[in-house]
Structure 1
Amino acid sequence: MAAVNGGTPPGCDAVCDVLVAGAGPAGCAAALALVRGGADVVLVAPAAPDRPRIGESLDPAAGPLLERLGVLGRIAHDGHAPCYGGRAAWGRDAPTEVSSVLGPYGPGLHLDRARFDTALLEAAEAAGALRRTGRIRAVERRPDHWRVATGTAGTTGTGGTFSARYVVDATGRPARLARRLGAAPGRSDRLTAVAGILAAPGGGPAGAERTSLVESTPWGWWYTAPLPDGGRVLMAVTDADLVAGTLLYDRDVWWARAQATGHVRQRITPWREPPGQLDVATAAPSCTRPAAGPGWAAVGDAAAATDPLAARGIVMALATGMEGARAILADHAGDGGALAAYARRITALHEEHLRARAVQYRREQRWDTPFWRRRHRTTG
């Protein structure tokens, strides 16, 4: 792929084939695929993520994607812990178990998210992507390129202006770049997660249990999973308008409700106190329409975000990052329908996710409460 013809346009500091906004798993996957397709790539992202990464389990299906990106070996030996599957107390009191050990890809991983994200970013840089710290401040379409102004919040004299043939939005659920280009991210409901990290008790691992756990409640559901350092992520999920009524924003109430569960309580027995702070974030499925257009594509959560119940967030990030990159490369090669086809694929994946999600929520029929009545009315 050749950069914009004619040298650096007036008012621009540098030229690249593709500017990727965001350096999480989706942005790095897109950058890796683009660089290996011959593109000159610039990654623009803040020095630190907007909110802390709370850690999560990586589905075994991510393995083939990481292998295609050339980073599977590094990830597998980078301090993460094996995940042997999950248990779910859903629709019944006794939990059911789903093991990944005998699946085609073997066990998944309990991630150190900061280390995982860093490994992907370093791989993208090693492949040839250029990293620039900052955010997209303005983007303007010119006849054959984008003029993109970047900068760092609270500072002057930093950032720069790039000329890019294509731009990729990998900014997560806010889809900041796609919004600027006229796309409209839409959420399916007001699902909200209230999460905390329980530090490793006594500075050491809390045990050898290596499965995640989901447990439904009258007001929503809990998720918990071990972290590689012996700590644990604990997350309550309900609707935004129900958070106040359940007082889940209060960490002592949040902790008391966790202690009142039937199964989550057993996973958190080594801990006597709640975490120092809780992180509140939207968890609703969303889809940006369109997820691509002439000269641009959205990837990862900026394209379509899934319900955390599906535990497929990183898999979707990697897959859409790679698919979005392929669409851009195909468009540059002369396939004028590649980006539109990618956008349709994102919409189809989102609709498929909503249908599967509706089926899963309808399996829980024990409570006639606002949270569950809303899910039982939803057809997907």
Structure 2
Amino acid sequence: MLKETELQTDVVIIGAGVAGCIAALALCDSYQVTLIDKSEMPEERIGECLAPAARRILQQLDLLTEFEHQLATSTPIPLHLHNTGLQISWGQSTPYVTDNLNNPDGFGWRLDRQVFEIFLREKALQRGIHCIWPAKLVHSEYQGQHWQITLAQLQHEQTTNIASQFVIDATGREAHFAKKYTARKQHDRLISCWATVANTIENQLGSICATQNGWWYSAPLPNQRRVLAFQTDPDLLTKDLHRDAKLFTQHAQCYANQAKILDVCQQPITLHGIVSANSTRLECFAGQQWAALGDAALSFDPISSQGIFNAMASAMQLADLMKKLDIVNKIEHDSQLQFKKLYQQQIEQIWHRYLDHKRYFYAQEQRWSNSPFWQRRQQPSSIVV
């Protein structure tokens, strides 16, 4: 029989990924925060980039010194790598290089995403944030001017009921909480079929290579591995590409950058399957004493390289707006309406700026103008149902 526990808090954050942890760390000096996640340990992710501007957010939250100390002391294998740049074959057959040499914030990082999320979780615990994981959200209901959140902690044979003034959904693309209260719109069907391989080449640049039915991405990872990923639409994916390592290798070797990596590697690749990489958004980003954050609100095409930074930056924006309006304590209609209006405007601006940049970037590739993959991305944005 499950035991029941009753808790009270100011803010419940569902999802302890980057967005959820940054929001918790930004809010914990003003409110009692409870941070929840379904997983006891962060999941392994595809190779992730963190933009140089994220340095400012880490500094603001007093995380930068310890983050850089970890980098300096993690030898012989670094926890994260500096992002020195990309070799790009897009819009032309001759590759060109982009880098961060002139960026005032310095280099960004190629993260071990799992290690980075563990670091953020540890900081949340150290700063007195009440953390509950693993715990599954099983019910949410607004009543009596607060939220009742019910969690199942099967590991401890326990049900936890939390009364909270405000809820933040940071559960990623699934938007487990928010999808009950608003619709989710899908703007394309992009998927990523990815694998890792031993990193044995001297060239530590990442690479992007456009092809007729999608594009390849490759980058070094901190664990002396390298990621290889093919982005395409489900109906254009070669059958069994995500299941057959030999087929994946043959497909990758058709393109120069990937061929160089695989030719010098004597070890087999490891396939990791398919993940969603499409552009999605919620119809409404906030409601009565709740808001969605990060991928739960907006998810980006990986060509933008802005997913993690957007999660961090929007978490800081949300925390600032919540504290400025004191929306946790001011629950009357006018205050809630003002918050929803301002937050909706903030995220709508991010979304439309993202769509403009995405459309511009895909329009640079005209070599396969008759290919369905490129045609879909060079037309005015529409909702995919």
Q: Is the TM-score greater than 0.5?
A: yes
Cα drift, residue 75 of structure 1: 2.2
* SS of 2:23 mapped into structure 1: helix
Q: Is the 8 A contact 2:148 2:164 kept in 1?
A: yes
Aligned letter for 1:140?
Answer: E
Map 1:266-345 to 2 at 5 A. Answer: 266-272=260-266, 274-329=268-323, 330=325, 331-332=327-328, 334=330, 335-336=335-336, 337-345=338-346
Match of 1:54 in 2: 46
Find out whether 1:19 has 2:12 as its counterpart: yes
Deviating beyond 6 angstroms after TM superposition, the runs of 4 or more aligned structure 1 residues are none
Deviation at 1:375, TM superposition (A): 1.6
Q: Tell me the CA shift for residue 122 of structure 1.
A: 1.0
C-alpha deviation, 1:17, in angstroms: 0.4
- Distance in 2 separating the partners of 1:185 and 1:142: 24
Percentage identity across aligned positions? 31
SS of corresponding position for 2:126? helix
Cα 1:179–1:323 change in 2 (3 A) is same
Aligned residue type for 2:319: A
CA gap 1:305/1:49 in 2 versus in 1, 3 angstroms: farther
Q: Which position in structure 2 is the counterpart of 1:76?
A: 68
SS in 2 for 1:64: helix
Deviates more, 1:105-114 or 1:161-170: 105-114
CA-CA distance at 1:376 after TM superposition: 2.2
Distance (Å, rounded) in 2 between the aligned partners of 1:250 and 1:72: 41
How far apart in 2 are the matches of 1:177 and 1:273? 42
Q: Offset at 1:86?
A: 1.5
Contact 2:42 2:118 in 1 (8 A): no
Q: Which residue of 2 aligns with 1:184?
A: 183
What per-residue deviation string (whole Å, max 9, x for no partner) do you get for residues 169-219 of structure 1?
A: 010001111012x1112111100001112245xxxxx35533221101111
Alignment partner of 2:28 out of 35, 43, 59: 35
Say how many residue pairs are matched.
Answer: 362
Partner residue, 1:8: none
State the distance in 1 between where 2:100 and 2:294 align.
24
User: How far apart are 1:226 and its partner, in Å?
Assistant: 0.2
Stretch deviating more after TM superposition (264-273 or 367-376): 264-273
| Unaligned segments of structure 1, at least 5 residues | 1-10, 201-205
CA RMSD of aligned residues (A): 2.1
Cα distance in 2 between the residues matched to 1:77 and 1:209: 26
CA distance in 1, matches of 2:156, 2:113: 31
Q: Distance in 2 between matches of 1:53 and 1:369?
A: 30
Q: Name the residue aligned to 1:358.
A: 359
- The offset of 1:95, in angstroms, is 1.3
Q: Distance in 1 between matches of 2:339 and 2:63?
A: 27
Per the alignment, residue 378 of structure 2 pairs with 376
**1:204-283 paired onto structure 2 within 5 Å:** 206-244=200-238, 247-272=241-266, 274-283=268-277
Letter in 2 for 1:369: S
Closer/same/farther in 2, CA of residues 22 and 93 from structure 1, 3 Å limit: same
Q: List alignment gaps of at least 5 residues for structure 2.
A: 71-78
- Assess, with a 3 A threshold, how the Cα gap between structure 1 residues 82 and 156 changes in structure 2: closer, same or farther: closer
Distance 2:286 2:262 in 1: 43
- For 1:125, the equivalent position in structure 2 comes to 125
CA distance in 1, matches of 2:243, 2:365: 25
Q: Which amino acid aligns with 1:33?
A: A
Show the counterpart of 1:3: none
- Using the alignment, how far apart are the partners of 2:94 and 2:228 within structure 1? 20
Q: Does 1:172 align with 2:172?
A: yes
> Distance in 2 between the 1:12 and 1:141 partners?
19
2:73 match: none
Give the Cα–Cα distance (whole angstroms) in 2 for the partners of residues 270 and 378 of structure 1: 42
Tell me if the contact between 1:21 and 1:135 (Cα under 8 Å) persists in the aligned partners.
no
Could you tell me whether the CA contact under 8 Å between 1:252 and 1:274 is conserved in 2? no
Deviation at 1:274, TM superposition (A): 4.5
Q: Assess, with a 3 A threshold, how the Cα gap between structure 1 residues 280 and 106 changes in structure 2: closer, same or farther.
A: same
Mean CA deviation greater in 334-343 or 356-365: 334-343
Amino acid across the alignment from 1:190 = R
Separation in structure 1 between the aligned mates of residue 310 and residue 40 of structure 2, nearest angstrom: 22
Maintained 8 Å contact 1:56/1:233 = no
What is the CA–CA distance in structure 1 between the aligned matches of 2:378 and 2:13, rounded to whole Å?
39
Cα distance change of structure 1 residues 354 and 70 upon mapping to structure 2, 3 Å threshold:
same
> Which letter does structure 1 place at the counterpart of 2:328?
H
User: Structure 1 residues 327 and 339 mapped into 2: Cα distance closer, same or farther (>3 Å)?
Assistant: farther
CA–CA distance in structure 1, aligned partners of residues 84 and 241 of structure 2:
33
- Cα separation, 2, equivalents of 1:97 and 1:315: 22
Q: Which residue of 1 aligns with 2:194?
A: 195
Distance 1:96 1:379 in 2: 28
* TM-score calculated relative to the size of structure 2: 0.88
Q: CA deviation at 1:101?
A: 2.0
Give the CA deviation at 1:159: 3.7
- Normalising by the residue count of structure 1, what TM-score does the alignment of the two structures yield? 0.89
Q: Is the 8 A contact 1:63 1:105 kept in 2?
A: yes
Q: Which amino acid aligns with 1:99?
A: D
